[in-house]
Structure 1
């Protein structure tokens, strides 16, 4: 570097003879300094480019290892979120019942004692003092609104037990036998409002027809009126007469009190309108006193 300046000064000395020394010296020195700075800048830039060129592959290599492939990120996630298979998706097999549905269907909800099982009816008979023998069973069990009917079948026939009608008590939580018979047990023991629901027990019975009257509906009619205290649970009535407008019912046991009933076609029900000794209350237009025993 010193040799370069010695040569420069010698050249400047020769040229100074033709012009101003200071001016030429200053211009040459400034030019030399500009060249030196430019060379330094170029060298520094070259080194920086080399460093960047060397460092970039490592930086990119590290970046590729850490970041996901952009092609994968922009594609639908088929691999990572596969479509549900038939065996693994509950919605794909709607016909397969679940355990909760199976338990619901096998254990139906009981309302007003219905539905009722054979064993429950056997228990009701035994609780009322009846005897149930091994092998006996029920058929044609029907249950609606706290009422039930069933036909009793004996394994070893000893008679004709017929059918039995039961009533469920919400308060006691149990069934009680209302009455039994082999004919007209529907109209005798089931409320008129239930006749249309018991297809087997009340087959062919028309609730809109006033006759015959039933034991249960007679008790209900009396209990709803002014003579409610004259009847008790388990009372049985005998129908002495029945027409389009009036009917005569008499208690079989006890006081043998007689009740005159009037038919309400609009509500399809009977109403008690008179009570007393048979010959005292049975008169025109209710009926002929000759019906009294």
Structure 2
């Protein structure tokens, strides 16, 4: 028996010329890059989840803090509204840092509506007035210092000794 394998071999040779070679290198690079992207995405998602968890914990903890204590009051020197309570010079002293040698005068704090004024004695230049303003939610805050202010600019409807007009 004679096998005629010549045409078969010729057909296989023709097929191999047109088929090319298997490119395993490019496929391995593509898979490697795909794996790197998956790892990067997974790591990024995990880091984001940690940041969100920590941020949520801090936000919840901050929202459950008790309200700050209200400052101790002193007596009113005007017939302004009863709220807010007029602060003492001790309370006002916690809101500003006076320069060396300066001190709040022994005179009481004057409160009119939502404004409070306290005399500050200076060693060389005499007295100056420190003005404080009350805002609901934030409390008393330092506003300005000077010899006096225009009552209309402050929105005051009552006279005050710290107003110049």
Do both proteins adopt the same fold according to a TM-score greater than 0.5, normalized to the shorter chain? no
- The higher radius of gyration belongs to 1
TM range (shorter): 0.3 to 0.5
Higher-RCO chain (CA-CA 8 Å, sequence separation at least 6): 2
TM-score (ref. length: structure 2):
0.41
